[in-house]
Structure 1
Amino acid sequence: MKNIITLTGDIGSGKSTVAAVLRDKLGYAILTTGSMLRELAARQGITVLELNKQAMSDSQVDRMIDGYIQDLNARGDQKLILDSRLAWHFVQGSFNVFLYVDPLAAGRRVLAHNRPEEAHTDVHDAMRNNLHRRELENERFETLYDIQCDDLSNFHLVVDTTWASPESVAAMIVQAYRQRDPGPAGINGYLCPKSLFPTKDIRDLQGSDAEAADKASADAAGPDEPGLHPAFPINVVRLGHYFFIRDGHARASRALRQGLLYVPCRISPAEAAVHPAGVNEWEEAHGFTFASYPDERGEPTLR
């Protein structure tokens, strides 16, 4: 495996900031396509969203950026951090990371950046623009390269940035990167328990089989390693922009009570309808509120 980390993920997930922290921790150089897109948009006097719409009918924008990234395969053993939507696809032998963020949290972050090429009226407008821009990019790359950019099985590591500082996110990436297995890409998710929606009523957990797994995970972690052991990940499904607990409610509950930032998760796509259960009771029992809430399609809805 090359000494190259590729970063992609949701708009507003903090890719550029995390890349900078990784640079300081590892001493790697950074290459970013996000800055290239913003510069191209600024030159034309349009927004990044408008540039993405333009690129739907003009592939030259993508070809210029992607050709440069592809050339990295012939440049030897460089130590790089690539902040790029498609580097995971083009660079052979890289360690591929996807950064997730809750849609509304992403809207707040993007609005706070106040970039002149990204005009938003409020946080909800920023959220909608983020999601629309992401949708346009995904459609374009599927047309050009026949790939699914939001398929998490393309990545070695999925990290939730919604509730974490860039330093905490980078530390998780460095830990996984140094322990990496040079096998085919698979899903290895570290998500905040505050991003995991229950599909069981919390009153049904006491005395369940899940408590046995909870205790086994605690025993495996040991007294000096509070939290959940990677050998006992929480099984979650992803629907749209949200994650739902399939198995591991007791472990997620324990993680919330401990105030853990991350829990190990095994992520799979939702193959059928997913319905959260007892969300208000879950929040009340653990003293927090979710960043936003999904509708039946996994799209953000406002409460």
Structure 2
Amino acid sequence: MTTKTNTHGIHHVTAIAGPAQRNLDFYTRVLGLRLVKKTVNFDDPGTYHFYFGDEAGSPGTILTFFPWEHVAPGRLGVGETQETVFRVPEGAVGYWTHRFVEKGVAHDAPARRFGESIVSFRDPDGMRLAIVGVPGIENEPAWTGGDVPAEFAIRGFHSVNLLLKDAAPTGAILTDVLGFTEIGREESLVRFKAGDTAIGGIVDIHVAGSFLPGRMGGGSVHHIAFRAADDAEELAMVKKLAENHGLHTTEQKDRNYFRSVYFREPGHVLFEIATDVPGFAIDEPLASLGQSLKLPPVYESRRSDIEKVLPEVA
């Protein structure tokens, strides 16, 4: 039986992108992630919603995008996610640095953060990303259907980095509600860890004080989703948010592959709590995930109209 600490951590990260084909090419061909679901924005069905992750789209590996063809670029600022960080084997950092040069990916020189090697880079929309070399993960399963050899492949999320005015109010939500514990500080960063969760188990808060607020647009993270094992655990988190912190969530929304509630945490980042169940294989076999356009039942009768307005992708 899975212990409760293993259900905590990051479930997925959702961001805003520009042209759909460019987004698809970068994450599948350059980063070697699997497209595990091609669906639509449930609130705007004329727009794709892409889900990238490991072979099965496991919680802690899923980066999702709403691609809009002519989106204006976002501006990084206080109250949003500064960086989304992937795990790679420690020995793969050199491979990725070389790959970024080879593929023309904007990136920084390797650095150290909390004792680990990190290389920050940007996607074509300017979204801030990084890879961190983690020792001892070489034998973890990796998606090998892309162009990146298994020994160098991404193994889910390492962390997210939030740019906030102050760490304490958000830290109280992370520790009391979402299953994290503060484990360290380094310069202006405060690190929180979700028990023994290896994949997607870290949140760093970059304390920026009074800085310009962020502006949503291309390259911005729209929200971060945190894991709940099931509806009961999600409901318990919702109750604790209200009773201990005076924060109220939306009603539960069925996203087909998980069930979600949303709320603004004290630093103004949009947080989601998403259930691990039922997962991405509920409407297509594991072997063919992401190959066909999947629509929620409410939109199925409009499929032909929706397909006409979505840009063609290959």
TM-score range normalised by the length of the shorter chain: under 0.3
Structure with greater helix share of residues: 1
Structure with greater strand share of residues: 2
The structure, 1 or 2, with the larger RCO (C-alpha pairs under 8 Å, 6+ apart) is 2
